[in-house]
Structure 1
Amino acid sequence: MAERLNRELTPVTDTWMAQLQQLVDDAESLESLRDGLDKLLPDMDLEQYAEVMAQAMSVAALAGRYELLEEMNGR
């Protein structure tokens, strides 16, 4: 589960991290960093990130239920 989540999130988070790193490198002050973040946020693909996180939460819930059933059955 963790490997799949990492595989699906890595392209999104790598892009974000590269954009944030560039922003920090270019910032001349905290104010310019803040302003850059305000401009950058609308361009980030939060929909894809949210979809993958929702899938991960569902998988985690199912895994928890499976583990509970295994314990109840003495396995």
Structure 2
Amino acid sequence: MSKAQYILLVGIIGLYGLLFVTLVFRALSSLRRSPRREVVSPQLEKISRVVARARQSRAWTRAVWRGTLAHEAH
């Protein structure tokens, strides 16, 4: 294996390692924050509900568009 291939391999492994560490850190920090989340203001809860509904409708619209486009392609 040449030196360039070795450097590339080490770089790719390093990036995946960094991604893994980041995901683990996020999971741990969200676990640590979850008990305090019980005290949520009604305003914030309402906003999060609206955002969740918007995300659902956007996903539904995207799925419908994909379905129609796939149907037209055949």
Bucket of the pairwise TM-score, normalised by the shorter protein? 0.3 to 0.5
TM-score with structure 1 setting the length = 0.44
- Name the larger-Rg structure: 2
